[in-house]
Amino acid sequence: MFAFLKQKPGFYKQVVLLAMPIVLQNLITSALGMADTFMVGMLGEVPMAAVTLANIPLFAVQMFIFGVQSGSSVLVSQYWGKQEMESINRVLGVALWVVLLVSSLFAMTATSVLVDLIAAMYTFPSMDPMLAAIFGGVSLGVSLGMIFSKGATTGGTDLTARLLKLPFAWLPMGKLLMVVDLTMLLSVSLVFRSMESAMYGMISLYISTLVMDGVLYGLDQSKVAYIVTTRPQEIAAEIDRQMDRGATFLHGEGSFSREEKLVLMCAFKQKQIVPLKALVHELDPEAFLIVCDAHEVLGQGFRRYQKDDI
């Protein structure tokens, strides 16, 4: 009767290992929800009712995304069994766009409501416009960077910038968003004839795009080093041993000496620049070292290529 429970050795252990992260996640989420409920309940009936009402649309969005995820998983499993990779890509593409649309609509609605709600509940004191532009741009850049990194938008001009990223994939998101927002900013300034506000807006916009690009691309900065040395084999071996990085030999020739030399090219992380310089100087104090910024490095030990990546 219970013959179906007999599985291969290690089967149930693998099931438990796969299920434990999901169980822990749900337990943590439930515990945080209970703690939040208790804390809000101590404030009174009105705050409790307000939080309950606010959770209704959030719960609806979460259930919709969960439904898309579940349905996509079933379809992907079926197509995987048939080895129909094109159908899998199509299902995942549609699911991602649906989730992007729903999350953007939710973010747009929540932003509009919260802006009016906070303005009605609290009156901000007057502030130096320059400080407001600087720190407002920083906070906006960090927020947009986090939103874009999760594949969502706020439904405003950043949605237009995200769509422009498809035909202009070589441009960073900050530049695209700056073009869109700058167009809107100049149009508003011409209509309301307020050049001073427009100039403060430009400062905030420029800072926000720099910070956003820093959040999206700058947290994992990489470098490329070119090393001209008389001991290329030894330096390459030490780079591999001490830094766990590979090196490529480029064939070069000195313009003055006419001697053929091996030039080392090595890609590495920002934090490894000091050990690299110390290593090269220790093995060959006369070596010629050139370090350049690498906008993006794809491959083993770095990021992997992803289609339609930001």
The pLDDT tens digits of the residues spanning 255-276 come to 888 888 889 999 988 888 899 9
Is residue 191 within 8 A of residue 215, CB to CB? The reply is no
Q: Mean pLDDT across the stretch 174-187?
A: 85
Shared-domain flag, residues 180 and 211: yes
3-state secondary structure of 176: helix
Higher pLDDT, 197 or 50: 197
| Inside any domain, residue 301 | no
* CA 212 from centre of chain: 10
Q: Mean pLDDT across the stretch 3-32?
A: 71
Please give the pLDDT value at position 19.
74
Alpha-helix runs per DSSP H in 122-194 = 129-149, 157-164, 173-192
| Run of H or E residues at 222 | strand 222-228
Q: Mean pLDDT across the stretch 147-174?
A: 77
Signed CA dihedral, 127, 132, 134, 136: sign only? positive
Please give the pLDDT value at position 1.
46
Average pLDDT, the chain: 79
Higher pLDDT, 236 or 35: 236
Is the per-residue pLDDT at 147 higher than 50?
A: yes
Weakest mean pLDDT among 80-84, 94-98, 151-155, 303-307: 303-307
| Inside any domain, residue 19 | no
Please give the pLDDT value at position 260.
87
Which residues have CB under 8 Å from 217's CB, separation 6+? 172, 295, 296
pTM of this structure? 0.56
Shared-domain flag, residues 209 and 236: no
Domain boundary among 219, 252, 269: 219
* Alpha-carbon span 148 to 136, nearest angstrom: 18
Weakest mean pLDDT among 214-218, 245-249, 265-269, 283-287: 214-218
| Inside any domain, residue 190 | yes
Higher pLDDT, 304 or 187: 187
**How many structural domains is the chain composed of?**
3
Q: Quick one: which of 263, 268, 267, 266 has its CA closest to 287?
A: 263
Shared-domain flag, residues 50 and 72: yes
Note down the domain range covering 262: 221-294
Domain boundary among 105, 121, 137: 121
Q: Mean pLDDT across the stretch 222-243?
A: 91
Please give the pLDDT value at position 299.
75
Weakest mean pLDDT among 35-44, 164-173, 187-196, 285-294: 35-44
208-231: pLDDT as tens digits: 988 988 888 766 578 899 999 989
Shared-domain flag, residues 135 and 207: yes
Please give the pLDDT value at position 59.
67
Please give the pLDDT value at position 290.
92
| Inside any domain, residue 71 | yes
Higher pLDDT, 1 or 234: 234
